[in-house]
Structures are given as structure tokens and as C-alpha cells.
A = this chain, B = another copy of it.
């Protein structure tokens, strides 16, 4: 069974932004942006994309599924690493082209393929008008060479 979503082009602007119809505005590639956050802490874990099938599978199975743009296929998060994301809630933004998925990050707690909890492990610093990156020190919870 695959869930059916409303057609955003059939909605008024007000219905899209204030209504109860879930009408994801998939882009030209059929994708919406999906941001995964950890339930409780609100920590931002990762950013990925979902097509209609990935969104439907996430809602149906209770585990996050994404569309891998690099591999061109549906990707159940954690299927290789064991780091499954158990769904708590999906929220959609005002114009319905992005979703937040609040999850419980299972396994060793590493959402990132580098072994870290979050993909956002470096911050930008600017010195002498030159931007560079500094590691903020998130530990590696697994060794990616041993997992993939």
C-alpha cells in the first residue's frame, strides 16, 4: 500500500499554508527536502531528500526512508549500518516543500556515515577574510571502514 498525497496545484495559497491537506510540493526531480532531528534534544542530525515513495514508506513503516540522489534509489536509513531512525513525527513547512522528521536515532546513535551523531560536525570560521572549517569535536561512534 502506498499513501496518496494531495495535489498542491489544486489548492489555493491559503489552503496550502493554513489547511489540513498534506500536499507535498515535490520539485522537478520529484523530491522534497527532509531534515532529521533527534526527538527530545532537537539536535539536527542530517539533511536528505524524499520522493513520494520514501515519504509514504516512512509514514507506513515508522522508519525513515530517503531517496539517495547519488545512488538513484530508495534508501532505508540504517539498512547497511544498523543506524535506523524510528519515526516520532513528521512536520511540514508553510509552503510544503520541506519536512522535518523527528526521530529516535537507534543503533550507536550515529546519523552520519562518518560515524558521528550529526552530519554537521564542522563550523565555519573567518580569519583575515578567509573562511575555513573547524571540527566541533563530535566523537565517532563507529568506524565507517568497518561498517560500510
Contact = CB atoms under 8 A, between A and B. Distances in A.
B126 A3 contact: yes
A115 B26 CA distance: 24
B134 A113 contact: no
A136 B89 CA distance: 11
A17 interface: yes
Contact of A17 (B98, B114, B124): B114
A131 B18 contact: no
Given A35-B44, A47-B35, A98-B47, A91 B19 contact: no
Interface in A1-17: 1, 3-5, 17
Interface of A: 1, 3-5, 17-22, 33, 35, 37, 41-44, 46-47, 59-60, 89-94, 98-100, 112-114, 119-124, 126, 129-134, 136
18 contacts: A3-B126, A3-B129, A4-B130, A19-B133, A20-B134, A22-B131, A22-B133, A33-B33, A35-B35, A35-B47, A42-B44, A47-B93, A47-B98, A59-B124, A60-B126, A90-B123, A92-B122, A94-B112
